[in-house]
Amino acid sequence: MYGYYGYGFDYLIYILPGLLLALYAQAKINSAYSKYLRVDSNTGLTGRDVARRILDRNGLNNVEINRINGKLTDNFNPETNALYLSDDIYNRSSVASLAIAAHEVGHAIQHASGYTPIKIRAALVPAANIGSQTSMFLIMLGLFFSSFFLKVGIALFAITVLFQIVTLPVEFDASRRAQKELAQGILNTEDLKGSKKVLEAAALTYIASTIVAIGQLLRLLALSRRRD
């Protein structure tokens, strides 16, 4: 009986707050994205145009810009040295399109300038991938068999949590760079306010997912202590 209520208490303390924040963050980004996707920037420039302009004036003429399917699937891939923009970002001149395009260019600039947090994140990628793929399997083994598997699974999961924590300054800095670049003759003051709202809403989703991951880690550590 204690174990049942203990697990329920763990959920309320460690998991539920983060999940509620995640739901709020998702609603926030959907709202901001939908709103400012309909607000034209009046620049005559598409997300692709703005990305190219910012890349070129930062000496990144060798970075390609390609289309990618999906919604909010935009990213910069350092392995291919290419920017990938979804159709709504690539083709449109809305405030949201330009904000997100500029944000992804921010990541390209980070890599080119040797920004320390993104170098740390890149170094964590192999271990984080292993952790995300195997940690839960090992944790399940640990729950039914040996606590050794549980401890190894928790350690691997902790690496994925560390990866998410390191991602936060990377994303915040990319948004800061985006706003700075957009303010240099691309967006007017009013549109800059809109782009800031889009990027702040996106940042909240990263914060929420990190809090969920930290909560899950704390819950697993509490479970491990009880088993010991």
Q: Which value, in Å, is the radius of gyration of the alpha carbons in the chain?
A: 20
The amino acid at 18: G
φ, ψ of residue 79 in degrees (nearest 5): -70, -40
- What span, in angstroms and rounded, lies between the C-alpha atoms of 224 and 150? 7
- Assess whether 104 carries a catalytic annotation: yes
- What span, in angstroms and rounded, lies between the C-alpha atoms of 173 and 160? 21
The residue to which tokens 């007017």 are assigned = 188
* Active-site residue, from 104, 181, 190, 200: 104
- What span, in angstroms and rounded, lies between the C-alpha atoms of 29 and 201? 5
Instruction: List active site positions.
Output: 104
